[in-house]
Amino acid sequence: MQSTDQMTRSGVAAELYLDLLKKCLSRYIFGEQYRPLTGRNRIARAAVGAVHGVLRPAGFELVRHSQFDSAMRAAGIDIPADAETMIGLSRLNHLQDCVTEVISEGVPGDLIETGVWRGGACILMRAVLKAYGETGRTVWLADSFEGLPEPNRTRYPAETDEGLVRGLFSAGLEQVQENFRRYGLLDSQVRFLPGWFRDTLPHAPFSRLALMRLDGDLYESTMDALVNLYPRLSVGGYVIIDDYFLACCRAAVDDFRARENVRETLLRTEDNMGAYWKRVR
């Protein structure tokens, strides 16, 4: 049996581990020095793509030097060159707080992220479970693993954000699994739901959720996640909406809350990018 002193020390060690992990996953402490060259407009992008086509097979890439801005990385505003998550340190801190709270309050259910990109936010969720010896919950990763779907503006007129194009934020399943492996966190408490949300979420094989983190950007992706997952969220559990700052995502959340008469107060994350609420009924 552990003494009170030993328990305090292991609690401090867990906090230190999670703190360092978040700074690694976001590359907050390494400050990326180079970014791949992409081109500012369509013509420049095509030109860069053609040059890359020649250089890559020979093991070269065009990159540009970039000034690392730690404030932007904390707020998750820039798109990282090689970090495992783009949500920034502030939203990682908030995610950790929510997971810790559902564990300490014994809220029943698994944890899911819809829209994982390179998997960093889910790696943190798995790490929190591990740090607190929580063996009865699974972290679910739902993603196409080929980027955003084609926005369907006929079916969803609120899909107005022009920059969100098919294939954006693509990271393959094997790359995400490898990222988990590198942190020593790929095990049976991590499960993958590859495919479009509209196909995978209705039959996802879990009955209760304690936390659902939505990060699929689009109106359709946000609505598909809310419709299919909210009925399975336990009272006391959290809904976290990463993209509330995007008009299309905000419209989906507001439409769903109005339609389902969700009266819990919607709160904004500290960086004012995301939003969340705790289910109380």
Note whether 107 and 236 are within 8 A (CB).
Answer: yes
Nearer to ligand SAM, 9 or 181 (CB): 181
DSSP three-state, residue 112: strand
Name the token pair of 27.
Answer: 């590359």
End-to-end CA distance of the chain: 39
Select the span of 47-55, 102-110, 139-147, 267-275 touching ligand SAM (CB under 6 A).
139-147
User: What is the pattern of x (binds ligand SAM, CB under 6 A) and - over residues 86-125?
Assistant: xx-------------------------x-xxx--xx----
User: What is the pattern of x (binds ligand SAM, CB under 6 A) and - over residues 38-77?
Assistant: ----------------------------------------
Nearer to ligand SAM, 83 or 103 (CB): 83
Please state the closest distance from residue 7 (CB atom) to ligand SAM, in A.
32
Q: Does 245 bind ligand SAM (CB under 6 A)?
A: no
Nearer to ligand SAM, 103 or 121 (CB): 121
Nearer to ligand SAM, 171 or 253 (CB): 171
User: How far apart are alpha carbons 120 and 87 in whole angstroms?
Assistant: 9
User: How far apart are alpha carbons 21 and 124 in whole angstroms?
Assistant: 7
User: How far apart are alpha carbons 9 and 138 in whole angstroms?
Assistant: 27
With CA atoms as reference, report the closest residue to 81 among 138, 32, 12, 28: 32
Residues in the interface with ligand SAM (CB under 6 A) total 23
User: How far apart are alpha carbons 79 and 56 in whole angstroms?
Assistant: 22
Distances (CA, A) of 173 to 115, 176, 251, 271: 12, 5, 29, 29
Q: Which residue type sits at 156?
A: Y
Please state the closest distance from residue 124 (CB atom) to ligand SAM, in A.
9
Please state the closest distance from residue 191 (CB atom) to ligand SAM, in A.
15
User: How far apart are alpha carbons 6 and 12 in whole angstroms?
Assistant: 10
- Within a 10 A sphere around the Cβ of 67, how many other Cβ atoms? 6
Nearer to ligand SAM, 261 or 269 (CB): 269
User: How far apart are alpha carbons 25 and 182 in whole angstroms?
Assistant: 11
Among 90, 93, 144, 228, binds ligand SAM (CB under 6 A): 144
Among 99, 107, 112, 143, binds ligand SAM (CB under 6 A): 143
Q: Which residues in 160-189 contact ligand SAM (CB under 6 A)?
A: 169, 171
- Within a 10 A sphere around the Cβ of 271, how many other Cβ atoms? 18
Phi-psi bin for 162: left (phi > 0), alpha (psi -120 to 50), beta?
A: alpha
Q: Does 85 bind ligand SAM (CB under 6 A)?
A: yes
User: What is the pattern of x (binds ligand SAM, CB under 6 A) and - over residues 192-231?
Assistant: ----xx-----------------xxxx--x----------
Residues at the site binding ligand SAM, with contacts judged by CB under 6 A: 85-87, 113, 115-117, 120-121, 143-144, 147-149, 169, 171, 196-197, 215-218, 221
